[in-house]
Amino acid sequence: MRDLQPSLNQTQRVRLQSALRQLHSLPSSSSSLLYSVAVAVAVAVADPIHVNHEDNILKGHGTLDCDGEVVATLCGVVERVNKLVYVHALQARYKPEVGDIIVGRVIEIAPKRWRLEINFSQVAVLMLSSMNLPDGIQRRRTAVDELNMRSIFEENDVICAEVRGFQHDGSLHLQARSQKYGKLERGQLLTVPAYLVKRRKKHFHHLEQYGVDLIIGCNGFIWVGEHVEAGENVGMLVEDQKKTSIAEEESGSFTPLETRKHICRIANAVRLLSALGFTLTVEAIVDTAEASLASNIEINDMLGAKLFVQTVEREVQRRASMVRKKG
Amino acid sequence: MVGLSEGERRFIRGGIAQDLRSDGRRRLQYCPISVQTGVIPQANGSARVRLGATDVIATIKAELGKPSLLQPDKGKVSIHVDCSPTAAPMFEGRGGEELSSELSLALERCLLGGKSGAGAAIDLSSLIVLDGKVCWDLYIDGLVISSDGNLLDTLAAAIKVALSNTGIPKVNIVYDGSPDDQPEVDVSDEEFLQFDTSGVPVVITLTKVGKHYIVDATAEEESQMSSAVSVSVNRNGQICGLIKRGGTGLDPSVILDMISVAKHVSKELISMLDSEIAAAEASDDES
């Protein structure tokens, strides 16, 4: 549990301790249920790993051959696949793969490309040719297009894109050709540890009952915002967008209050789940938001003690029912 | 601090206009406060205050010294703030010095009163041991561990709590020689003099974004501010200090309105801090 440490009273502390103890005893993921014969071995740095030295064991990531013994160099769980032994780190940095949906922030505009910060060790690159032009025509990018890059994306803009591939030096190449990718406005960006986001089939979620768009980036950047139809703002250049936004502000028409309440509730649910260290899935986030509505907890109280303990207890029940279904 | 896109900035401004900020708080609502006392045992008094994601530690150290010639019947207090590089990358090396000196000056204005010592949070005459010869020098240090906006309020609250936790040892004069010599003193290990912190003011910072004021701004909201007024209010509702930051000019009626809003909010903050101090003292007595 990071950052969030709500002040718990005595009963809440007791409930939390018992719920955490139950969570530790229950198996956490379905995969470990399948391989329930092999118990997950947790190792810390410099712990020895038991291997049968006669087999030609391949020493994978996170291991080191030290005086004939195989020793772990990471804190994590030992995984064995045929002859390969490696340590799977539990709290690792974001590890990108081709096809990942990413939410990033533009930090620099360079010749014919934008550089984005994506919570990775290196900066990701979005080439001008990997981006649809405002007028939508497929054509060769000219020097005028290059000069007008700032009219498409500016510095500090939040962008949704997909990983296209890796360069030879390990940095990422992104592409944003489809209608669903592009600039994200009217919402807030949240940062969570990247290992809490697992790869799924869908990362774009339109929560209809709330009218909220939820984009769970694989790099740990989560966007919660007002729902925007795909392709609505694609044709608009930045200056036109700025003019409409200033007109909107003066007339006082911001995001409607109801939608804003839902956005804040979902955002607080994400903050709570990331503070507890639970995997972020749409179901978990929506469940937490609905539970807070059902318990009549105010939006700003969502990060308080009551919902904190309630969420842990609900997770215990969920995992217990999963174990019962499988077993 | 990472930059914010135009869309995010508009979202924040819209939230403040509609009285629903990004984390669900209202405009005049504080983040949850968490207070710990006695975190630094070597100091005479210490406290750690967390206001949302902002985390500061305040320590009070008392040393025997000579009172100044102009005010021989008063002790001395000095406040110094240090922004640790763990709080933000820009504080590395000498980057945090400007902010540190600004915060130290603001706290001195709010808590120490005028040149004669009148109106100070701490009664300086209570720090004197022997007129003209020996007095207590109080060194108040603030350390910013994590910075997410609203540093001034958090530091002032931490100093108030640390003062409640401070114990100054009782001093017995052993031998008072001729007027020029320094007398010998015996510092007692057991008896302590506690401060009464009910008179110590708190600082309320009101950040103006657009047409509205917010209390306890996060770093993102502070980046959108046009100006900010920090008002130091004590328990009787009296103004002990006033600081305005930010480049935008303010109409005098706006400043008067902000002062009255700050007085209104201060009652809640003072009662919250007092209850936390009482809870911390109770747990200290138990242990």
Q: What is the mean pLDDT of residues B174-188?
A: 69
Does some domain include residue B264? yes
What would the two tokens of residue B256 be? 């008067």
Say which residue the tokens 């009273």 belong to. Answer: A9
Span between the terminal Cα atoms of chain B, in Å: 41
Using one digit for the tens of pLDDT, what is the confidence trace for A168-218? 888 899 999 888 898 998 899 999 998 899 888 889 999 988 889 999 999
Does some domain include residue B1? no
Q: Do A267 and B34 touch (CB under 8 A)?
A: no
Q: Which helix (H) or strand (E) holds B36?
A: strand B33-37
Tell me the angle at which helices A238-251 and B6-17 cross, rounded to the nearest 10 degrees. 0
Assign residue B138 the CATH number of its domain: 3.30.230.70
pLDDT at A150 over 70: yes
Partner residue facing B15 (CB), from A3, A117, A260:
A260
Q: Which domains does chain A have, with CATH numbers?
A: 36-89 (2.40.50.100)
CA pair distance A159, A219, nearest whole angstrom? 13
A246 phi-psi bin (left φ>0, alpha ψ -120 to 50, beta other): alpha
Residue from B182, B176, B62 nearest B127 by CA: B62
Q: What is the mean pLDDT of residues B210-231?
A: 90
Radius of gyration for chain B, computed over Cα atoms and rounded to the nearest angstrom: 20
**Min Cα separation B145/chain A (Å):** 13
Residues of B in Cβ contact (< 8 Å) with A254: 10-11, 13-15, 17-18
Using one digit for the tens of pLDDT, what is the confidence trace for B65-113? 888 888 888 888 899 999 988 888 888 888 889 999 999 999 988 888 7
CA pair distance B191, B222, nearest whole angstrom? 45
At CB < 8 Å, which residues of chain A contact B?
A: 3, 5-7, 105, 117, 154-158, 183-189, 225, 241-242, 245, 249, 252, 254-255, 257, 260-261, 264-265, 267-268, 271, 298-304
**Min Cα separation B33/chain A (Å):** 9
Asked if B206 contacts B215 with a C-beta cutoff of 8 angstroms, the reply is: yes
pLDDT tier for residue A31 given thresholds of 50, 70 and 90:
very low
Span between the terminal Cα atoms of chain A, in Å: 29
What would the two tokens of residue A136 be? 């939508």
Say which residue the tokens 């047409």 belong to. Answer: B211
Residues of A in Cβ contact (< 8 Å) with B145: none
pLDDT tier for residue B59 given thresholds of 50, 70 and 90:
very high
Using one digit for the tens of pLDDT, what is the confidence trace for A153-171? 999 999 999 999 998 888 8
ipTM score for this prediction: 0.84
pLDDT at A108 over 50: yes
Chain Cα centroid distance, residue A300: 23
The larger pLDDT score, comparing residue A266 to residue A132, is at A266
**Amino acid letter at A57?**
I
Q: Which residues contact A156 (CB under 8 A, 6 or more apart)?
A: A105, A106, A107, B2, B3, B4, B5, B6
Q: Which residues contact B167 (CB under 8 A, 6 or more apart)?
A: B44, B45, B192, B193, B194
pLDDT at B225 over 80: yes
pLDDT at A32 over 60: no
pLDDT at A34 over 50: no
Interface list for B 7-36 with A (CB within 8 A): 7-8, 10-11, 13-15, 17-18, 20-26, 29, 32, 34
pLDDT at A116 over 90: yes
Q: Could you give the percent of chain B with pLDDT greater than 90?
A: 31
**What is each CA distance from B265 to A175, B193, B232, B280, in whole angstroms?**
50, 31, 11, 23
CA pair distance B126, B144, nearest whole angstrom? 29
Number of compact structural domains in chain B = 1
- The answer to whether the Cα torsion of A210, A211, A217, A222 is positive or negative is negative
Residues of A in Cβ contact (< 8 Å) with B32: 6-7, 303-304
Q: Do B11 and A255 touch (CB under 8 A)?
A: yes
Give the range of the structural domain holding residue B218, as residue numbers without chain letter: 6-286
The larger pLDDT score, comparing residue A264 to residue B185, is at A264
Using one digit for the tens of pLDDT, what is the confidence trace for B123-137? 777 788 888 888 888
Average pLDDT, chain B: 86
Q: How much is the pLDDT for A237?
A: 54
A272: closest chain B residue by CA? B23
Q: How much is the pLDDT for B173?
A: 78
Residue from B169, B79, B80, B176 nearest B127 by CA: B169
Does some domain include residue B19? yes
**What is each CA distance from B172 to A318, B67, B126, B187, in whole angstroms?**
67, 17, 15, 6
Which SS3 state, helix, strand or coil, does residue B278 take? helix
Asked if A146 contacts A157 with a C-beta cutoff of 8 angstroms, the reply is: no
Most distant pair of Cα atoms in chain A: their distance: 77
Q: What is the mean pLDDT of residues B54-62?
A: 93
Does some domain include residue B185? yes
pLDDT at A250 over 60: no
pLDDT tier for residue A90 given thresholds of 50, 70 and 90:
confident
pTM for this model (two decimals): 0.85
Q: How much is the pLDDT for A37?
A: 43
What would the two tokens of residue B230 be? 């920090």
Say which residue the tokens 């305005």 belong to. Answer: B244
Q: How much is the pLDDT for A242?
A: 61
Which SS3 state, helix, strand or coil, does residue B144 take? strand
Chain Cα centroid distance, residue B21: 25
Most distant pair of Cα atoms in chain B: their distance: 74
A256: closest chain B residue by CA? B18
Annotate chain A with three-state secondary structure: CCCCCCCCCHHHHHHHHHHHHHHHHCCCCHHHHHCCCCCCCEECCCCECCCCCCCCCEECCCEEEECCEEEECCCEEEEEECCEEEEEECCCCCCCCCCCEEEEEEEEEECCEEEEECCCCCCEEEEEEEECCCCCCCCCCCHHHHHCHHHHCCCCCEEEEEEEEECCCCCEEEEECCCCCEECCCEEEEECCHHHCCCCCCCEEEECCCCEEEEECCCCEEEEEECCCCCCCCCCCHHHHHHHHHHHHHHCCCCCHHHHHHHHHHHHHHHHHHHHCCCCCHHHHHHHHHHHHHCCCCHHHHHCHHHHHHHHHHHHHHHHHHHHHHC
Say which residue the tokens 């030096």 belong to. Answer: A169
* Summary count for chain B: helices (H), strands (E): 5, 12
Q: Do B5 and A268 touch (CB under 8 A)?
A: no
CA pair distance A247, A249, nearest whole angstrom? 6
Q: Do A255 and B6 touch (CB under 8 A)?
A: no
Q: Could you give the percent of chain A with pLDDT greater than 90?
A: 28
Q: Do B10 and A185 touch (CB under 8 A)?
A: yes
